[in-house]
Amino acid sequence: MNSVEALAPLVVASALAMMVGVEPAPLAILVWTHVAIRLLHLGVYLRGGNAAKGGSVRTILYVSGALVTFVLILVTGWAALK
């Protein structure tokens, strides 16, 4: 469920980024970075153990994904203002 919750802001920000004309290369870099972070997060979760129970590695990955989404929102806003 956590991955689905993190996906919605990324999809909305990505769609808006395409509509306002964000360059494809930075958009792709941000989206694929987010996807890679989420896959690592999933791997840690599926591995189990203390890290899967809310350990610091999983938290760092979750926050990193959220920061990438935030950067995408900033880039989108900047492109919209141009």
What is the pTM assigned to this prediction? Answer: 0.86
pLDDT at 1: 59
Contact 41, 66 (CB under 8 A): no
pLDDT range class, residue 2, cuts 50, 70, 90: low
- Whether the CB-CB separation of 79 and 21 falls below 8 Å is answered with yes
Per the model's pLDDT, the better-predicted residue between 57 and 12 turns out to be 12
Average pLDDT of the chain to the nearest whole number: 90
49 has a pLDDT exceeding 90: no
Percent of the chain at pLDDT above 90?
66
Q: Are 37 and 65 in contact (CB under 8 A)?
A: yes
